[in-house]
Amino acid sequence: MHKFDKPLRQSIFIGSMAFILLLCIFLNILTFRSFRKSLYKSYEERITDILVYVHSHIDLDDLSNCVDNLEESPKYNELMHLMDDVVEQFNIHYLYIVTPLNNNETDNMLIVLSATTEYEREYHIDEDIVLGYICHDDYSAEMAQAHLDALNKDDISFLEDRSSWGVDYTGILPLIDSSGKHFAILCVDIDIAELHDALQAYITENIIIITTLGIIFMFLLQFWLEKNVISPIANLERNVSIFAENAHEQTDPSKLVLDVPPIHTHNEVESLYDAISQMSEDMHSYVMNIVNMEEKVSDLKTQVNYMDMLAYQDSLTKVKNKAWYDKTSQRVNEEIEHGTAEFAIIMADLNYLKKINDTYGHERGNEYIFGACREMCQIFSHSPIFRIGGDEFVILLEKMDYMNRNTLLDELELIFTDTSSNTSIEPWQRYSVALGMAIYDSENDKSIEDVFKRADKTMYDNKMLMKAARE
> Helices in 312-361 by DSSP H: which ranges?
322-338, 353-360
Asked if 353 contacts 365 with a C-beta cutoff of 8 angstroms, the reply is: yes
pLDDT for 275 equals 47
Which amino acid, one-letter code, is at 416? F
Q: 455 with 436: CB under 8 angstroms?
A: yes
Matching fold, domains 57-191 and 320-470: no
Local structure of 394: helix, strand or coil: strand
Question: DSSP letters along 47-87, please?
Answer: HHHHHHHHHTT--HHHHHHHHHHT---HHHHHHHHHHHHHH
pLDDT at 322 over 80: yes
Supply the DSSP symbol for 137.
S
Between these two residues, 242 and 366, which has the higher pLDDT value?
366
> pLDDT tens for residues 18-55?
877 887 787 778 877 887 788 889 889 999 999 999 99
Sorting pLDDT into bands at 50, 70 and 90, what band is 166? low
* Contacts with 217 (C-beta within 8 Å, 6 or more apart), sequence order: 20
pLDDT for residue 124 is more than 90: no
pLDDT digits (tens, 9 = 90+) for 49-85: 999 999 999 999 999 999 999 999 999 999 999 999 9
276 confidence band (pLDDT: 50, 70, 90): very low
Rounded Cα distance between 308 and 312, Å, is 7
> What is the tens place of the pLDDT at every residue in 412-434?
999 999 999 999 999 999 999 99
| Domain range 57-191, CATH architecture | 2-Layer Sandwich (3.30)
More confidently predicted of 179 and 257 = 179
Domain residue spans of the chain: 57-191, 320-470
d(CA 357, CA 163): 58
What is the topology classification, in CATH, of domain 320-470? Alpha-Beta Plaits (3.30.70)
Maximum C-alpha span of the chain: 134
Model confidence pLDDT, tens digit, residues 277-291: 444 344 434 434 554
Q: What is the band of 213 on the pLDDT scale with cuts at 50, 70, 90? A: confident
How many residues make up the chain in this entry? 471
